[in-house]
Amino acid sequence: MPATSHPVQNLLSSSLLSNNTKIESYRSIILPVVSFGCATWSLTLSEERRLRVSENWVLRKVFGPCRDEVTGEYRRLHNEELCDLYALPHIIWVVTKEELDGRSMWHVWKTREVGTGFWWGDLWKETTSKI
């Protein structure tokens, strides 16, 4: 995360806030800023990886370390453990969903064609027939 995220980092690492409050802060403050304009993005694999890494960084700040059952020492959470703890859609899903929605709606608006193969083709027929 960039240097401007120190106040947010302190918020996410705070032991005074519950994990649910930290997750809501992430979803309402950080995620909209990161995904702004994602409807126009063309994500490459390296950009997807960067988004995953930054989200995992935030989630590690939220959930903190865990105690290893074998050694008894504290360690960082693995990515699979983060996925188990964070039951909401991940940033890649949010970004690609917005990207697809934005592009698909642009295509339907631009061409005004029915039956373009998009999943709402029947819905488009119903709404245009009522007009």
| Residues in the chain, pLDDT under 50 | 3-4, 104-120, 123-124
pLDDT score, position 100: 56
Non-local (6+) Cβ contacts of 115 within 8 A are 121, 125
Q: How many domains does the chain have?
A: 1
User: What range does the domain containing 66 cover?
Assistant: 3-130
pLDDT score, position 29: 84
The answer to whether the CB of 80 falls within 8 A of the CB of 37 is no
Q: With CA atoms as reference, report the closest residue to 12 among 63, 82, 74.
A: 63
pLDDT score, position 116: 45
